[in-house]
Structure 1
Amino acid sequence: MDFLQFVSTRQSDRAFDPERPVEKEKLDRILEAARMAPSACNAQPWHMIVVDDPELKNRVADATSTRALGINHFTKQAPVHILLVEEKVNLSSGIGGWVKQKDYAQMDLGVVAAHIVLAAHAEGLGSCIVGWFDEEKMRELLSIPDSRRVWLDIVIGYSTQALRSKKRKSKEEIVSYNKYR
């Protein structure tokens, strides 16, 4: 399958087989793909916490769910959660971000998240990037220092969800050449 076909079949899955664990070899390859992600000035401002202990995973999933809004209840089905924690950037990235008024660490975390979900897809696994969760609860559950931000929880498992058609803006709406239109 070529790359365009590959990314066209990757989706945010919200239904997983809770009885089917993710093989360690597959998880190791996903983490290696994440480790290879590029970052501004090679700062690599991330720490990944893999949660695969069933009891702890369920407590982490509870921190993503909100009854009032009825969201993220599917996260308990996924056998693996990978939390992305922001680490401090190196001097070059920090100075560059300050000069350019850009948060390179957040951009870098987005890149590593993309590597994780694409690597999961390459392994035949489904995934979903979750940004809505109780950050304080995550810190408490996973012994994350208060000085660190927990940006994302990426759930991974064997999807039971059918492939959906993608609704995207047309290329003409989002692309221009040689000037902003």
Structure 2
Amino acid sequence: MDFLSLAHNRQSCRAYNAEKAVEQEKLSSILEAFRLSPSACNAQPYHLTVVKGEKKKDVAKACSGMGMNKFAQDAPVLLVLSEDNYNKTAAIGAKVKGNDYRSIDIGIACASIAYAATEVGLSTCILGWFDDGKIRSLLNLDKPVRLVITLGYADENDKLREKKRKDMDALVRFAE
């Protein structure tokens, strides 16, 4: 599948086939795409925790506060993306420029995961609503959790929806 096809086919999935496990070879492919993601100064200031089984149920509950993200229970895998330290070059750049590049790098890594999953026929939803303290406690993490990504096979009734995006002119301008 070419990249534009991936971009057209990738969507947030909120209905998973809870009975269909994610094959290890597909998971490994997604993890390799994550590992190869670009980052500022090649700092790779993130860590990924793959959560399955009983522990996944507890983490999914920590994503379900106030009625949000209940579908996370049905995803067979949760990918917990947490912040990590910069390397020295990136730390200096962040200080000089006053910009925490970790957020950008984490977003890039998250996109790599989402597109790699789409390429192998899996679905994702990127969650920003969760109980950071609870997840950190459950997974024994010492750094902040930035995103949780649900991963699995979409329910057969979860059809590809029409993309609603701004017009190109609203998003892009050219300067020469």
**TM-score interval for Structure 1 and Structure 2 normalised by the shorter chain:** over 0.9
- 2:172, 2:137 → 1: CA distance? 43
Residue identity in the other structure for 2:43: A
**TM-score if structure 2 supplies the norm length?**
0.96
Is it true that 1:123 corresponds to 2:117 in the alignment?
A: no
Per-residue deviation, residues 4-48 of structure 1 (Å, max 9, x unmatched) = 122111101011000000001110110011000010001011111
Residue identity in the other structure for 1:135: D
- 2:171, 2:103 → 1: CA distance? 22
- 1:151, 1:97 → 2: CA distance? 18
| Uncovered stretches (5+) of structure 1, i.e. residues with no partner | none
SS class of match (1:169):
coil
SS class of match (1:13):
coil
Aligned partner of 1:16 in structure 2 is 16
How far is 1:100 from its partner?
Answer: 1.1
Over aligned residue pairs, what C-alpha RMSD do you find?
A: 1.0
Is it true that 1:154 corresponds to 2:149 in the alignment?
A: yes
- 1:61, 1:6 → 2: CA distance? 27
| Uncovered stretches (5+) of structure 2, i.e. residues with no partner | none
- 2:124, 2:75 → 1: CA distance? 8
Per-residue deviation, residues 125-164 of structure 1 (Å, max 9, x unmatched) = 000110100000001100012xx11101011000011100
- 1:169, 1:154 → 2: CA distance? 25
Is it true that 1:95 corresponds to 2:92 in the alignment?
A: yes
Aligned partner of 1:55 in structure 2 is 54
- 1:123, 1:104 → 2: CA distance? 29
SS class of match (2:108):
helix
